[in-house]
Amino acid sequence: MRIIRKIFSKSRSLEDGIFFDSIQKILGFAPIDLDIYKKAFTHRSANRLDLAGNPMNYERLEFLGDAMLSSVIAAYLFDKAPLGDEGYLTKMRSKIVSREHLNELGKDLNLASFIESKVPINHFGDNVHGNIFESLVGAIYLDRGYEYCEKFIQKRVVAPYVDIARLEGKVISYKSLIIEWCQKEKKIFHYDIFEDNAIDGQRLFGVKLSIDDKVIAKARATSKKKAEEKASQRAYFAFQEKMERR
């Protein structure tokens, strides 16, 4: 086996050899088909095509990886939370595979450094980190199958980050909490965009949250949805004591 690996390693280019070693360190096992992993880091702006003339980028692998993450995490929760009903299990899975969490995982592994793109990395939003993490999971499934895919998710997601007791108290959406509280308290609320411009080539949205005609919080982000969530988080901390009394 070692002789075979040496033969294959000699046939690789220096660039492929460096990529192979980097991916192996991240995975914890050797990849077999390196081309699948190259695809997992190829952005659509690279305009790459496969031998059949199909677009070659990470978007389809991202879809597959999302499904594999949900499957593995669902099985884990089913086993570890035997008293949890369907609603509980769904909520817990959403917390584990939230976009925010996946973005953190992608950043921790520095996956963006491997992206092949014609667009500067600093022009991407935060979600690219989570997207790449999902595409990597999809690549593992295609390359090594479910067993290795599960092994990777257990190592990189479950073992270091999943604490069921802690996750039970984790907020998924501050905006949902604010809306629910306002509806219960019969308060009038609305989110308004007060800024929409581009800074250094990156579009930014400014959103303000008003409750009973009083501006409670403002926030800026690369999308309206993110800005609303940030403003909601700030409003939550401003009203936390009142909200937790209910």
Tokens coding 129: 């980190």
Rounded CA gap, 78 and 99, in Å? 22
Residues, the chain: 246
DSSP string, 170-226: --S-HHHHHHHHHHHTT--EEEEEEEEEEETTEEEEEEEEEETTEEEEEEEESSHHH
Q: Which residues pair with 217 in a beta bridge?
A: 209
Rounded CA gap, 244 and 246, in Å? 5
Q: Please indicate if the annotation marks 131 as binding a ligand.
A: yes
Contact 234, 219 (CB under 8 A): yes
Q: Please indicate if the annotation marks 116 as binding a ligand.
A: no
Contact 212, 193 (CB under 8 A): no
Backbone phi, then psi, for 115, in 5-degree steps? -65, 130
SS3 content of the chain, % helix, strand, coil (to 5): 65, 15, 25
Supply the residues annotated as catalytic: 66, 134
List, in order, residues 6 or more apart from 109 with CB less than 8 Å away.
Answer: 26, 133, 156
Q: Please indicate if the annotation marks 185 as binding a ligand.
A: no
Rounded CA gap, 144 and 152, in Å? 11
- List residues forming the annotated binding site: 62, 131, 134
- List residues forming the annotated binding site for Mg(2+): 62, 131, 134
